[in-house]
A and B are shown apart, each in its own frame.
Chain A
Amino acid sequence: MKTPSYIKSALAAGLVSLCAVSVAAHAEVKLNGSGASFPFPIYSKWFKDFSAEHEDIRIDYQSKGSGAGIQDLINGTVDFAASDAAMNDKDMAQVKQGVVLLPMTAGEVVIIYNLKGVKELNLPRDVYPAIFSGKITQWNDPAIAEANPGVDLPDEPITVVTRSDSSGTSFVFTGHLSAINETFKETVGQGKAPNWPNTGKFIAAPKNDGVTAQVQQNEGSIGYVEYGYAKLTGWKQVAKLENKSGKFIAAGPESGAAALASAEFPEGTLPNSDVPNLIAWVWDPAGEDAYPIATFTWMLFYKDQDDEKAAALREMVEYGVKKGQKIADSMGYIPLPKSVQERVLSTVEFIR
C-alpha cells in the first residue's frame, strides 16, 4: 500500500545522494537522528523545510520508537535522538559526552468511542480510568449516565481497544490514568506496554491507525489515540474529559496549551551535568481550561561533539522552536508555550 511512496522516496534519496556525490566539493553536514514515532510527521516536515533553507545541512530521521532512539544515542550511532518518555538517569549516565534534553513539541492523547447517535460524551475523572481498568463494563453504567443527562446510552458491553505494540502514547495515557486513579495504578500501572486486564472485552490493535480502525468498525468500543491522529482521520466521536478543576474539556490546541502552561520545570540541572533539566510531565494539569492528557516530546543531543555538527544542530533546534511551532497546530500538535520556547533557546547553547 505504502510501497509506491517508499519507492519514490528511495528513488529521491538515490538521486539526492548522486547529486551530493557530484557536488562533493560543497561541504555538507549530515545529521542522523532516530526515535519516537509520535512526533515523526511534524519532525519530517521541519527537516524538509529546514533543508530547503539550508542547503549545506541534511537531516535524516528514522521513526523507530522512543526506546530504540535512546538505545541508538547510547550506542553512538546517531547525532540526535527523540523520545516521548524523555530519558531516565540510568540511560543518561551511559552517554559519556553528556546529554542535552530539549522539549520540541507537545501533543495530546484523546479517547475516541463508537456509539450510534451519541454526539457528545462526557467522561468524569473517576469513570474513564475505571473503564480502562475493566471496572466499568456497560455503557449504561449509572456513573456514565449521570455525567451525560439526556444521552441515550445503550445497554451494551464496552469493548476497550488498546495498543498492542509498545508505544509512547500508551506511556502518556497510562501515566495520566495512574496519576488520577489509585486502583488503575495498582491493577494496570504506567508503561509503554502496560498489562491490560483480560476480560475478553479488551482487544489490542497495532499503531494509532489500528486502534482507530477497530473503534470505527465496532460499535460500543472505546480507545485512545493521539490527538493529531484523530484530527487527521476526522473521527468525530471524541470524548470530553473532566479535568482537575471539574470541568469537561474537549481536546484542542487551546486546551492543550493551557495544560502545558501548568507544567513546572524542575529547578536545577540534569544529574552530573550543568545542563538545565527540561524534563517536565503534566500528568494532571491544574488549569481551569486544561485538557487533562497532554505531554511534551523531547529531542536528545550529545553535549560535547563535533563543532560543525553542533552548530547545525543548534540551528535546527532554533528553526524548530521559532518557525516550526507555527505549523504545529495544523498538524495536530500543541505549540510550545512562550516560556518553554525561551528555556529551550537558552539551553540549546549547551550543545557544543
Chain B
Amino acid sequence: MNPRQPPGIRPRLVAAGLGTERHRQPFPHSQENAMANPFPHAQSASPISGPPSALEYASDRIFRAIALSAASVIIILTAYILWEVAGKAMPAIGDYGLGFITGTEWDVNKGTFGVLPEIWGTLYSSLLALLLGGVFGIAIAIFLTQDFINHRLATIFRTLIEMLAAIPSVVFGLWGIYVLIPLLKPGAEWLHDEFGWIPLFGSDLSGPGMAPAALVLAIMILPTVAAISVDALRRIPYKVKEAAYGMGTTRWEAILKVMLPTASSGLLAALVLGFGRALGETMALAMLIGNANQISLSLFSPANTLASLLASNFPEAGQVEVHALMYAAMVLLAITFLVNVLGLGIQQYTLRKFEGKK
C-alpha cells in the first residue's frame, strides 16, 4: 500500500470490504468508541472516514442492479437460444429419435438424416487438434515462463502467438488449401505406401482430409491454450520454484514435477477451452475436411463435422431439413456441454490432488 496515503483511508477501505487480509477485522462504526481502537487515526474527525453517503449507497445499488441485469441477460439469452433451437429441433427429435445419432446417411431427397459420421469427425478432428495444439501450447507456455528467454522477449513472443487468434478462419482455410495440403501430400503418399497397413494411414490424401483439417485446427487453438497456460504458470509464486531448487531438483525436475502439477488446474482449463473452440470451429473445417459423410480412422481420408454440416446446409434448407439441422445443432451443444462438465470435473480432481485446495 502506498505509504504516502493520507491517514484514515484504511477504515474506509475496511468499510467497503476492500481491506487486505491483515486488516479485515470486525469494525462496525457504531461500536467504534466502545472498544479499544487499534486505529487511532480513524477517530480524527476527517470527513473521509464518515459513514457512506447517500450518493455512495445509490451508486452501489445502481452498480449492483446493472451487474445483476447484465448477468441475467446472459442467462436469459442462453435459455432463449436453447429454447428456440430445441423447439425447432422437436419435430425432428420426435421423427428420428436416437436413430438420428446412430444413422450414417444424410439424404434430403429420401428424408433420411443421421449424424454419426459428423459426430465422429467432430470428436476425432478436435481430439487430434487438442493433442497437437495442447502439447505445443503448453510447451510454449513453459518456454515463455520458466526463464528460458529474456522476459521482454517472452512478452513479444506471447503477443505474436496471441495474434494468431485474430486471423479469420477463412484465411486459415485458404492457407490450408493453398499451402498446407500441397506440403502434406508427398509425406502422406509416402506414409500410405510404406505404412498403409496401419489404419491411421489407410488411405492416401486426395486433397482435403482429416490431417490438414486437424493441423489447421491445432494452430487455431494454439493461442488459446498457450495464453491461458502462460497465465496459469505465472500465477505460481516464485518461492515454489525456489523451494523446489532448494530440495535439489534440476531445472527440468522442477518444471515437470513441481510447476506443471501446481498449475495443472489452469492448464486443464486451457485444454478444455481449446477443445471447445475446436468443436465449434466451422469455416476452416468446411474448407479443409472434405465434407464426406464417412467414418474412417485414416488421417488422410475426408470426413465431416457437425459445424461444417450446419454451415453447408442451412442456407438452402427446406422445412424438414431445418428441423434435422436444429437437431444436429442440439447434438453439438450436448457434446460441448459434456466436454465442459467433464473438464470441470477433472479440474476439481486435480485441484484437490495436486494443489491441495478443497
Q: CB-CB < 8 A to A166: which residues of B? A: 108, 312-313, 315-317
| Residue B126 is within 8 A (CB to CB) of chain A in the complex | no
In the complex, chain B residues whose CB is within 8 Å of the CB of A195: 105-107, 109-110
Closest to B171 in A: A1
| Contacts known (A203-B290, A204-B290, A214-B207); A66 close to B302, Cβ less than 8 A | no
Contact of A190 with B109 at beta-carbon distance under 8 Å, contacts A200-B296, A202-B302, A203-B291 already known = yes
B303 nearest CB across to chain A (Å): 10
Cβ of A198: which chain B residues have Cβ within 8 Å of it? 292-294
Closest to A204 in B: B291
Q: How far is the CB of B170 from chain A (nearest CB, A)?
A: 7
CA distance A204 to B206 in the complex (A): 11
Beta-carbon contacts under 8 Å, B171-188 to A: 171, 174, 177-178, 181-182
C-alpha spacing A200/B286, complex, angstroms: 16
CA distance A200 to B207 in the complex (A): 11
- Let me know if B203 is at the binding interface, CB within 8 A: yes
A1–B181 Cα distance when bound, in Å, is 21
Which of A64, A157, A164, A214 counts the most chain B CB atoms within 10 A?
A164
Q: State which residues 173-212 of A face B: CB under 8 Å.
A: 189-196, 198, 200-206, 210
Question: How big is chain A's contact interface, by range?
Answer: 35 or more
Q: State whether B294 touches A65 (Cβ < 8 A).
A: no
Contact flag A193-B313 (CB < 8 Å), given A200-B296, A203-B207, A218-B206: yes
Q: Mark A52-71, 1 if CB is under 8 A from B, else 0.
A: 00000000000011111000
Distance of A191 from chain B, by nearest CB (Å): 5
Assess whether A164 is in contact with B312, with CB atoms less than 8 Å apart: yes
Are B291 and A205 in contact, CB atoms less than 8 angstroms apart?
yes
CA gap between A203 and B301 in the complex, in Å = 9
Q: Provide 27 A-B residue pairs closer than 8 Å at the C-beta atoms, listed in order of the A residue.
A: A65-B316, A67-B317, A165-B316, A166-B315, A192-B108, A192-B316, A193-B108, A193-B312, A195-B105, A196-B292, A200-B294, A200-B298, A200-B301, A200-B302, A203-B291, A203-B302, A205-B208, A205-B287, A205-B291, A206-B287, A206-B311, A213-B177, A213-B178, A214-B177, A217-B177, A217-B178, A217-B207
Please report B residues at the A interface, Cβ cutoff 8 Å.
Answer: 105-110, 168, 170-171, 174, 177-178, 181-182, 203, 206-209, 286-287, 290-294, 296, 298, 301-302, 308, 311-313, 315-318
A residues whose Cβ falls under 8 Å from a Cβ of B: 1, 64-68, 157, 159, 161, 164-167, 189-196, 198, 200-206, 210, 213-214, 217-218, 220-221
Contacts beyond the supplied A164-B308, A200-B296, A217-B177: 9 A-B pairs with Cβ under 8 Å: A67-B318, A193-B108, A194-B109, A195-B107, A196-B292, A202-B302, A205-B208, A213-B177, A214-B207
